[in-house]
Structure 1
Amino acid sequence: MKDIFDECYLGDLKLKSRIVRTGTWETETEDGGFLTPAVFERYKKMASSGVGAIVSEIFALDHKDRFFPYSTSLNYKGFIKDYKMITGIAHEYDVPILGQLAFFYYDDGENQKVEANEITPEGIRKLQAEVIMAAKKFLFAGFDGIQINMGNNFYLARFMNPYFNQREDKYGGNTENRVRISSEIIKVIKSTMDMHVSCRINPWDVRKGGITADESIAIARELEKAGADSIQLTARTISQIYDKGEKHPFLVYVDDLIDAVDIPVILGGSLREMAKINDVLNNSKVELVSMSKPFVAQADFLADWKENGEGVAICQSCNNCYSKKTSTCFKYVE
């Protein structure tokens, strides 16, 4: 029988449990980006609670990005010092930590919001170089890896989506070509840095002419071929396939994905109860589960679950922390 508190591996990273915490927004900063004491306390609570791995809050590439005001920055003066302290906290408790990079817009130097069909090959090289440099900065700050968000509705998700990408060069057309911009990034990171590379992808699209489940699996295979170490599932929207809360929306897809790749797959998507997570673990091929909002409501809830052998997150899935883009809970204030 599998249990969420089993020791396991995420690629070469040893985990103390099957739970991967995924961050979203970071709003507890001051003086141009420096982290407040509340951020360090939050990470200490998470790392000491029994979490398997931590994925940071979103880091943005550019101060002009749509979500920059709600994200962490790679470019403020205290970045290396602050995040060496953050990664040090995680490592003190033997918890691997990945830096999450996600950007909605891209500025190629000529267009602040250049999209897939308009960006030039030179602009693609510039984008790739900036992502690779972000990975190098994460490495300097002590992160064990980088998670590149290629899901939700972020830039790289749109770039590899046929709904948005009708390019006629080697970065458009078939699946391999549309994923090429990301595959080339991964190849450089893996050949030049000792880092875990995780990719967040959508299992499908809800747009006509968008990504299907079969193509999503093909995308995952291309990312694996390039050297990605893990895949994490996310989605632009999953509401259309909920079955009145009785069935996890990704379970119609995840076993097929796990069969198709030889790297770990992290299941995401609104799981809140220990018993239900263990049910998923023991009735599917899932080995790892990610959680986000429950850690906003209570950063150390896993400690209670481990002590009691059961538990339900106090998070009520009101979604205010996500929709209002804050790193704090609206209902539960410590």
Structure 2
Amino acid sequence: MKDIFDKCNLGNLNLNSRIIRTGTWETENEDGGFLKNSVYDKYEAIAGSGVGAIVSEIFALDHKDRFYPYSTNQNYKGFIKEYKMITDIAHKYDVPILGQLAFFYYDDGENQKVEANDISIKGIRKLQAEVFMAAKKFAYAGFDGIQINMGNNFYLARFMNPYFNQRTDQYGGNTENRVRISAEIIKLIKKTMNLHVSCRINPLDVRKDGIDYEESKKIAKELEKAGADSIQLTARTISYLYDGREKNPFLVYVDELIDELDIPVILGGSLRDMDTINEVLNNTQVEFVSMSKPFVAQADFLKEWKENGEGKTICQSCNNCYSKKTSTCFKY
């Protein structure tokens, strides 16, 4: 029997449980980017709760990015010092921590919002270099890895989506070509740094001629081939297909994906109670579950779950923290 609080391994990372905390926005900072004391308290509570691993809040590449005002960044004077303190907090509890990089727009030097079809090879090299340097900065700050967000509607998700990418060169066309921009980044990181590389992807996007389950599996296999250490699934499209009568197609998909990969897959989704999560763990091939908004509502809820042997998050899935782009809960 699998249990949430099993000690386990996520690739090369040792975990104290099967729960991965995934961050979203960071609004608890001062002008200039410096973190408020509440951020350190939050990480202390999360790391000490029994979490398996932590994925940070989103780091943006560019101050002109769509979500920059709600994200944290690497380009202020205190980044290395402050985030070394954050990673030290996680490591005090033997919890690995990954820095999450996500960007919606990309400025190639000629166009502040250049899209997949228009970015030049020179622009692609500039983008790849900037992502590589972000990984370097994470390593300097003590992070155990990087999660590159290639899901939802972020830039790299659009780049490898045939709905958006109609290039006719080596970065367009078939799956391998559309994933190439990301695969080359992963290869370089793995060649030069001792970082766990996690990729966050969509199972499908509900767009005609976009990504479906089969295309998503192909994308995951290309990322694995490039050297990715784990895949994390987002869950933005579960509600479109699941009516509660048949088996959740997202769970069918994740089992099929796990069958096709040799690297761990982290299941994302609106899982809110210990019994349901353990049921998923024991009735599918899922080994790891990510949670985000529950940690916004109550940073240390896992501690209560572990002590009581059961539990349900106080998060009501109102989605206000995400939609209003804040790192604090509106109710709690």
Residue of structure 2 equivalent to 1:261: 261
Looking at structure 1, the residues matched to 237 and 278 of structure 2 have their Cα atoms a distance apart, in angstroms, of 24
RMSD between aligned residues: 1.1
Secondary structure, counterpart of 2:57 in structure 1: strand
Looking at structure 2, the residues matched to 14 and 318 of structure 1 have their Cα atoms a distance apart, in angstroms, of 33
Give the residue type in structure 2 aligned to 1:226.
A
Q: Verify the 8 A CA contact 2:54 2:98 in the aligned structure 1.
A: yes
Q: Verify the 8 A CA contact 1:23 1:55 in the aligned structure 2.
A: yes
Residue of structure 1 equivalent to 2:101: 101
Looking at structure 2, the residues matched to 37 and 109 of structure 1 have their Cα atoms a distance apart, in angstroms, of 36
- Give the alignment of 1:75-154 within 5 angstroms: 75-154=75-154
Unaligned runs of 5+ in 2: none
- Give the alignment of 1:1-334 within 5 angstroms: 1-244=1-244, 248=248, 250-332=250-332
The alpha carbon displacement at 1:241 in A equals: 1.6
The alpha carbon displacement at 1:63 in A equals: 0.2
Looking at structure 2, the residues matched to 236 and 160 of structure 1 have their Cα atoms a distance apart, in angstroms, of 17
The alpha carbon displacement at 1:247 in A equals: 5.8
Looking at structure 2, the residues matched to 191 and 269 of structure 1 have their Cα atoms a distance apart, in angstroms, of 32
Secondary structure, counterpart of 2:136 in structure 1: helix
The alpha carbon displacement at 1:31 in A equals: 2.6
Unaligned runs of 5+ in 1: none
Cα pair distance change 1:83/1:248, threshold 3 Å: farther
Secondary structure, counterpart of 1:225 in structure 2: helix
Cα pair distance change 1:247/1:88, threshold 3 Å: farther
Cα pair distance change 1:168/1:200, threshold 3 Å: same
Deviates more, 1:231-240 or 1:313-322: 231-240
Looking at structure 2, the residues matched to 328 and 105 of structure 1 have their Cα atoms a distance apart, in angstroms, of 25
The alpha carbon displacement at 1:246 in A equals: 8.7
The alpha carbon displacement at 1:248 in A equals: 4.9
Give the residue type in structure 2 aligned to 1:253.
Y
Give the residue type in structure 2 aligned to 1:330.
F
Q: Verify the 8 A CA contact 1:204 1:235 in the aligned structure 2.
A: no
Looking at structure 2, the residues matched to 269 and 321 of structure 1 have their Cα atoms a distance apart, in angstroms, of 16
Looking at structure 2, the residues matched to 236 and 279 of structure 1 have their Cα atoms a distance apart, in angstroms, of 21
- Percent identity of the aligned residues? 81
Cα pair distance change 1:317/1:247, threshold 3 Å: farther
The alpha carbon displacement at 1:244 in A equals: 4.5
Give the residue type in structure 1 aligned to 2:269.
G
Give the residue type in structure 1 aligned to 2:14.
K
The alpha carbon displacement at 1:205 in A equals: 1.6
Q: Verify the 8 A CA contact 2:204 2:237 in the aligned structure 1.
A: no
The alpha carbon displacement at 1:129 in A equals: 0.2
Secondary structure, counterpart of 1:306 in structure 2: helix
The alpha carbon displacement at 1:238 in A equals: 2.7
Q: Verify the 8 A CA contact 1:150 1:199 in the aligned structure 2.
A: yes
Flag as ranges the 4+ runs of structure 1 deviating above 6 A. Answer: none
Deviations 1:152-206 (A, max 9, x none): 0000000000000000000000000000000000000000000000000001120
Q: Verify the 8 A CA contact 1:151 1:235 in the aligned structure 2.
A: no
